């Protein structure tokens, strides 16, 4: 399985989301975690904040990231995303968060789900009927790991996020 992973998921793994960290550790041998190149710099900028949040040193948080997470990320250059896909991704996220276009664009380009905790991206995916990209929360990822078909996962996403779209 392949997933594009958003910054907020990686940050949550770092700051001690125990369930999320365990899930990542279990998945990291069998799932290809695709990330846009900009995420590495973005996460590294957030490491001091993560350290303050958990009450430890930035060096320790950096080591956790460097050893437990970073080696399992497949870093993709945003320039791989075709111009047409890039422009559509930018258009889609313009009113949500323009900085999210590389995640959405990479998910669109690769044709794989985007694992995110960003409620706005999750709602956008549902609102557009999953036509352009499929954003899934951690529950959706767990469903995929259980062998559920993407259509079942999408239905679960509709149930969780459609009401907030209307």
User: Mind listing the pLDDT tens digit for each residue in 120-162?
Assistant: 999 999 999 999 999 999 999 999 999 999 999 999 999 999 8
What's the pLDDT tens digit per position in 59-112?
988 898 899 899 999 999 999 999 999 999 999 999 999 999 999 999 999 999
Q: 3-class SS at 70? A: helix
Q: Using the predicted structure, report yes or no on whether residue 165 has a pLDDT greater than 50.
A: no
Tokens representing 77 are: 């250059």
Residues 6+ apart with CB under 8 A from 23: 138, 141, 142
Assessment of whether the complete model's pTM goes beyond 0.75: yes
Q: Give the integer Cα–Cα distance in Å for 152 and 130.
A: 12
Q: Decide: 145 and 27 in contact? Cβ < 8 Å.
A: yes
Domains of the chain: residue spans and CATH = 2-161 (3.40.50.1010)
Write the pLDDT tens digit of every residue in 1-30.
999 999 999 988 888 768 888 899 899 889
Strand partners, 32: 2
CB 116 within 8 A of CB 9: yes
Cα(74)–Cα(56) distance, rounded to whole angstroms?
Answer: 27
């Amino acid at each position: 399985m392949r997933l594009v992973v958003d910054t907020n998921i990686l940050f949550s793994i770092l700051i001690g989301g125990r369930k999320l960290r365990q899930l990542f550790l279990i998945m990291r041998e069998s799932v290809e975690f695709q990330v846009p190149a900009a995420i590495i710099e973005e996460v590294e900028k957030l490491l001091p904040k993560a350290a303050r949040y958990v009450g430890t040193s930035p060096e320790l948080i950096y080591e956790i990231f460097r050893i437990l997470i970073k080696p399992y990320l497949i870093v993709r250059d945003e320039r791989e995303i075709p111009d047409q896909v890039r422009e559509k991704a930018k258009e889609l996220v313009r009113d949500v968060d323009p900085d999210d276009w590389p995640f959405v664009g990479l998910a669109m380009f690769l044709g794989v789900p985007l694992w995110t905790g960003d409620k706005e991206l999750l709602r956008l995916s549902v609102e557009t009927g999953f036509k352009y990209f499929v954003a899934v929360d951690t529950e959706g990822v767990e469903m995929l790991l259980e062998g559920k078909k993407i259509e079942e996962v999408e239905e679960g996403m509709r149930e969780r996020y459609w009401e907030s779209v209307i």
